[in-house]
Homo-oligomer: A and B are copies of this chain.
Amino acid sequence: MNAPAASSHLLPAVAPRPVPQVLLDALSARFGPKQYSVAQAVREQHGRDESSFDVPPPVAVVFAESTEDVADAVRLAAAHAVPVIPFGSGSSLEGHLLAVQGGISLDVSRMNRLLRLDADDLTVTVQPGLTRKQLNEQIKDSGLFFPIDPGADASLGGMVATRASGTNAVRYGTMRENVLALEVVTASGETLRTGTRARKSSAGYDLTRLIVGSEGTLAVVTEVTLRLYPLPEAVSAAVCSFPSIEAAVRTTIQTIQMGVPIARCELIDVNTVRMVNRHSNLTLPESPMLLMEFHGSPTGVAEQAGTVQEIAADHGGKGFEWATTPEERTRLWTARHNAYFAAVQSRPGCRAVATDTCVPISRLADCLLDSVQEADASGIPYFLVGHVGDGNFHFGYLIDPNSAEERATAEALSDALVARALALEGTCTGEHGIGLHKMGFLVDEAGAGGVEMMRTLKRALDPLNILNPGKIFVL
């Protein structure tokens, strides 16, 4: 594999497409004032996300309340070749929701019902606007849970779109492994189902997994059937401090290589521990740490934790502390999940340029340590957290959005990190998606041939290029 070239991360210049008044009139007539808006505030709310881009908002917003609403909106837009941008909870980090080619935002957040819980089969079918926390709240009496946890309380449709994962993926997999079936509306406004409720199938092309991770560019998701898991009999969380990031990472690598079925294994660097302590009123020891969780029978959990404690001790890990009550655990994980916000608030007015590389586990130390050194040398404040059990970690470079120099420095750090991850046979994005920001990286990673195959699929399924155009690649 050749060393990848440094990539452009600038927004491609594609003019917004015209939105004829006749389409807006038709949408207004079909959806009425409760489901259709051109108000500036509503459009702006739908024209941004957690990414650091500024582009004009969509021309109008449709609030879908059913699959038929979605199909009608897409059909009307298709008749005028106008872009449609599906919108869930707005927590994308990669500019997925931005109207870079104009068009309308299709907000599915009102489609937030749990349609069917089949507890005996460990499956649930939901509408795309339901969030992961709402799902877990609604099924809590069933003895089951949905483990995929990207931090933000994302909508499940959005999690399908970005192939989300997060803290539990090291044990339970990502959306790739946990979506059984979908109902989608195609670019021509047709509704179809992919997959069944069977746990496995060899029935033709895997349309489900083609849509999972397609970032709203191939179809609009209107129903999602997910795998659930029995709540573990016992859960215990542990916090362990290390003398260095390297020691924490080496502990992780060995844990994975030994096949310990650890449920969560999160790295937090010392900067970020400080930010989290301040934001969440905690007194975590200010050194690099691993936040871990073990699921299983009481004996199994104790066995796993014992093994990891020994490995950690070999690497100078100290203060292996337990959090066995649900309240303590929630406090720890909430702190972890708030790391992003804690970091952003640590520098008022800043924006985070977030990275998302993921490498084979044996390369984790190589990839991470050099990047830490570069970030330290840059002088830009940053946070560093990682789902290190998967080889996935995030830097967030906290820049002054008005400083072209800081932005350039952050992008250069990100470029170097991605180049390193690709050279180590990893990926530029473990879980956030390509969106607007990583298009150049995608070419480095998948090669011109791989991206051309993706474009061919896009052209075949969306010949008018109306579904979230200008994301992943520009046609």
- Residues on A lying within 8 angstroms of B by beta carbon are 118, 120-123, 162-165, 169, 173-174, 176-177, 186, 190-194, 196-207, 209-210, 212-214, 218, 229-230, 232, 253, 256-259, 296-297, 299-300, 303, 356, 358-363, 390-392, 422, 425-434, 438, 441-442, 445-447, 449-451, 453-454, 456-457, 459-461, 472-473
Contacts and interface: CB of A to CB of B under 8 A. Distances in A.
B230 A430 contact: no
Given A174-B200, A199-B391, A202-B432, 6 more contacts: A118-B362, A192-B447, A197-B426, A202-B433, A203-B441, A456-B461
Contacts of A202: 162-164, 213, 356, 427, 429-434
Give the 9 A-B residue pairs with the shortest CB-CB distance, closest first. Answer: A230-B259, A460-B460, A192-B449, A120-B362, A201-B427, A121-B360, A209-B209, A197-B425, A198-B358
B120 A361 contact: yes
Number of copies: 2
A122 to B, nearest CB: 7
A247 B447 CA distance: 53
A418 to B, nearest CB: 11
Contacts of A258: 230
B207 A454 contact: yes
A210 B213 contact: no
A206 B209 contact: yes
A121 B390 CA distance: 10
A434 B203 contact: yes
A236 to B, nearest CB: 16
A257 B120 CA distance: 6
A362 B120 CA distance: 6
Nearest to A422: B196
A213 B195 CA distance: 13
Nearest to A212: B206
A163 to B, nearest CB: 4
From A120, A204, A296, A434, residue with most partner B Cβ within 10 Å: A204
A98 B284 CA distance: 65
A392 B199 CA distance: 9
Nearest to A175: B202
Contacts of A473: 204
Contact of A205 (B162, B214, B438): B214
Given A118-B362, A186-B453, A206-B210, A200 B176 contact: yes
